[in-house]
Structure 1
Amino acid sequence: MSQLDPLFQPLTIKGLVLKNRFLSTSHAPGYTLQGNITERYIDYEAEKAKGGVGLLQFGGATSVAVEGSFHYGQINGSVDDVIPQYRRIAGAIHAHGAACTIQLRHGGRQERWDHDQWLPAFSPSATRELNFGVFAAQMEDHDIARAQRDFVDAVRRARDGDIDGVEIACQSGALIEQFWSPAMNYRTDRYGGSLTNRMRFGLEVLEAVRQDIGEDYVVGIRMSGDEMLRGGLNQDDCIAIAEVYADSGLIDFISVVGAQPTDTLSVARIWPTMWVPTAAYLPLAGA
């Protein structure tokens, strides 16, 4: 592969200069201990940076809330204790000339109910989540406000931890996607009904984030290009959402995946195994 290949050319995203266009997308290797970043996690990311990757998007499904997904082995991004941990892993990545972002997520109805915080799992509407065995409560106004505040605080911790940017998870059945999807959002208030209303919660999250950290910090989203779910978002719906969010001026990039994990087959679609073709969702991203 020639050094003139576009993959080897630098890319600038709002002042963040990437030395090339190779990236490691957000995922959760499970290298945490009770939500804390371990030496193994740091070494895992540092080795990729040493190998020449330009952007490491680490911390897949990092929790923004105390009731969050770190109970499943992800990073706990809901407490200030994580800031020095962020600085260590970011420093290890930066030492090799790479940049890093972290994925921040609220799981909504995918969160644990059997934890020590005594907070129920919630969702836009009272629904059952089959994969996680959760019966979610419908979110009230104070739940919506708290979830939005949790995102703001989590982004600030990432910035204070020397991480170059954040990716807000709007895919894999995360809370923001639960608001988007008519398969999970049956509300009749300002957060439900029309697609415009269903997009409102996520846009309010991003508006609150921007008000807190300003315009200079890199913020993007990861979303599905088609939920592939009966009664859910189809490709046209997802394109419409992407256009609104891109035109909002609130985000700097969109990362696109596919499917929505609601049963065994859809889990295999969204976290592809060897039976799925290489770059299976590239057409969704291209659209």
Structure 2
Amino acid sequence: MTSTLFSLITVGPVTLPNRIVVSPMCQYSADDGCANDWHLMHLMQLAISGAGLIVLEATAVERQARITHGCLGLYSDANEAALARVMDAARRVAPPQTRWGIQINHAGRKASAQRPWEGRAALGPLEDPWPTEGPSAIAAGEHWPTPKEMTHADMTRVRDSFVAATRRALRLGFDVIEIHAAHGYLMHQFLSPLANQRTDQYGGSLDNRMRFPLEVATAVREVIPAKVCLGLRITGSDWTPGGIEVVETIAFANALKARGADYVCVTTGGVVNARIAVQPGYQVPFAAEVKANVGLHTRAVGMIADAQQAEAIIASGQADTVALGRAFLDDPRWVWHAAHTLGVADSISYPPQYERSKPVLWAGAQLARHGTANVS
């Protein structure tokens, strides 16, 4: 059998052994931005997954750019050294064809927040909060502080922070740099009229709202060598009247393509509270629209959990790659199981220590998958 999901693909200068990407997933477990033993365990586990590309969680470009106190950062020498330790270990156990990416981010008005298991709200006065900033002095929601409206000097500082974090990521040997321009964080805030009500050249029209994110992407592109891929996670919809719709997403993706971006990952929502009908593959149509109208490598994400579902998305041309997040938390061996389901198990290289768990060698694999066994 053959599988499109398990076929090679080249994204810009980087070749992936399959179309499966581990989506960046915040762990909220860093120490002042520094990766620790949790990240060591988490990334070493993902390293042996067989995914073609593993993208590290949203990583703050400044200390005040963190979402929470526990967010990973790449704004200090200590951050860089801590992440080097973790990445050295993860690369040692990963298949040699595995590629690694990192998502760099500024949370903007959604910074200074509680970890999810602490409540997700804005940090209270006794929780060591810090001042936030955004395109306009509009709070992220009820009971959230009003951010400082960024000056042009602030934007220059943030742009330079993205560049500095990129340089650190390049020293760490990442194959892919991904700018987070979705989920309601700073780049998305500039793009969305729901968060950006500026009256200068950075607000109003779509061209103006795109200006700062494009300046950041251009500055990052300029310091990335030809062998490294640049991508952005962008939003296909704000799911709210007056917010971003896919026609604007297409325009933004075209502008990114013109400035040297190699791919976009199309997600949705996050800039305001919205009622979203979440169901399997609910964001895939937005990726399909972008792919059809831009001609740029496009990644789909969002409630993709089943091997046949992922195969169908790629085989039908709706996206070039798929990103899975919680599916990997639920099943770190998702790729192995998908390869078996799709009849291409020979394409997966198991670590030799785990070879005996292959379905062809262990009859219990069927029991583990289906909860039944032929016992006589």
TM-score range relative to shorter protein = 0.7 to 0.9
Q: Distance in 2 between matches of 1:207 and 1:216?
A: 17
How far is the alpha carbon of 1:118 from its aligned partner? Answer: 9.1
Q: Distance in 2 between matches of 1:26 and 1:102?
A: 8
Partner of 1:175: 186
Q: Distance in 2 between matches of 1:14 and 1:89?
A: 26
Partner of 2:198: 187
How far is the alpha carbon of 1:246 from its aligned partner? Answer: 1.9
Paired letter, 2:224 = I
How far is the alpha carbon of 1:282 from its aligned partner? Answer: 0.6
Partner of 1:38: 36
Paired letter, 1:281 = Q
Return the match for 2:259 from 248, 252, 268. Answer: 248
Instruction: Tell whether the 8 Å contact from 1:34 to 1:70 is kept in structure 2 after alignment.
Output: no
Q: How many residues align?
A: 275
Q: Distance in 1 between matches of 2:156 and 2:126?
A: 22
Q: Distance in 2 between matches of 1:16 and 1:200?
A: 28
Trace 1:27-176 onto structure 2 (pairs within 5 A).
Answer: 27-59=25-57, 61-69=58-66, 71-95=68-92, 96-97=94-95, 98-112=98-112, 120-130=131-141, 133-176=144-187
Unmatched 5+ residue regions in structure 1? 270-274
Instruction: Tell whether the 8 Å contact from 2:67 to 2:107 is kept in structure 1 after alignment.
Output: no
Higher relative contact order (CA 8 A, sep 6+): 2
Partner of 2:279: 277
Partner of 2:270: 260
Shift in CA distance, 212/48, structure 1 to aligned 2, threshold 3 Å: closer
Deviation sequence 1:66-101 (CA, Å, 0-9, x none): 212253422022112222233233333333122111
Paired letter, 1:233 = I
Q: Distance in 2 between matches of 1:70 and 1:80?
A: 20
Return the match for 1:210 from 221, 238, 259. Answer: 221
Partner of 2:8: 10
Q: Which has the higher mean CA deviation after the structures are superposed, 173-182 or 40-49?
A: 40-49
Asked whether 1:220 is paired with 2:231, we answer yes
Deviation sequence 1:131-170 (CA, Å, 0-9, x none): 6712111111111111101100111111111222211000
How far is the alpha carbon of 1:261 from its aligned partner? Answer: 4.2
Deviation sequence 1:16-44 (CA, Å, 0-9, x none): 22222221111112342332212221221
The normalised TM-score by structure 1 is 0.88
Instruction: Tell whether the 8 Å contact from 2:21 to 2:52 is kept in structure 1 after alignment.
Output: yes
Q: Distance in 1 between matches of 2:5 and 2:142?
A: 38
Q: Which has the higher mean CA deviation after the structures are superposed, 29-38 or 176-185?
A: 29-38
Paired letter, 1:253 = Y
Shift in CA distance, 68/102, structure 1 to aligned 2, threshold 3 Å: same
Unmatched 5+ residue regions in structure 2? 113-122, 290-376
Instruction: Tell whether the 8 Å contact from 1:125 to 1:138 is kept in structure 2 after alignment.
Output: yes
SS at match of 2:47: helix
Partner of 1:272: none
SS at match of 1:197: helix
Shift in CA distance, 119/260, structure 1 to aligned 2, threshold 3 Å: closer
Q: Distance in 2 between matches of 1:116 and 1:161?
A: 32
Shift in CA distance, 128/142, structure 1 to aligned 2, threshold 3 Å: same
SS at match of 1:104: strand
SS at match of 2:41: helix
Instruction: Tell whether the 8 Å contact from 1:93 to 1:100 is kept in structure 2 after alignment.
Output: no
Instruction: Tell whether the 8 Å contact from 2:40 to 2:89 is kept in structure 1 after alignment.
Output: yes
Instruction: Tell whether the 8 Å contact from 2:195 to 2:271 is kept in structure 1 after alignment.
Output: no
Partner of 2:302: none
Instruction: Tell whether the 8 Å contact from 1:37 to 1:75 is kept in structure 2 after alignment.
Output: yes
Q: Distance in 2 between matches of 1:37 and 1:196?
A: 37
Q: Distance in 2 between matches of 1:254 and 1:15?
A: 15
The normalised TM-score by structure 2 is 0.68
Q: Which has the higher mean CA deviation after the structures are superposed, 150-159 or 111-120?
A: 111-120
Deviation sequence 1:217-245 (CA, Å, 0-9, x none): 21110011111123211121222212221
Q: Percent identity?
A: 29
How far is the alpha carbon of 1:215 from its aligned partner? Answer: 3.9
Instruction: Tell whether the 8 Å contact from 1:65 to 1:106 is kept in structure 2 after alignment.
Output: yes
Shift in CA distance, 157/88, structure 1 to aligned 2, threshold 3 Å: same
> Which of structures 1 and 2 has the bigger CA Rg?
2
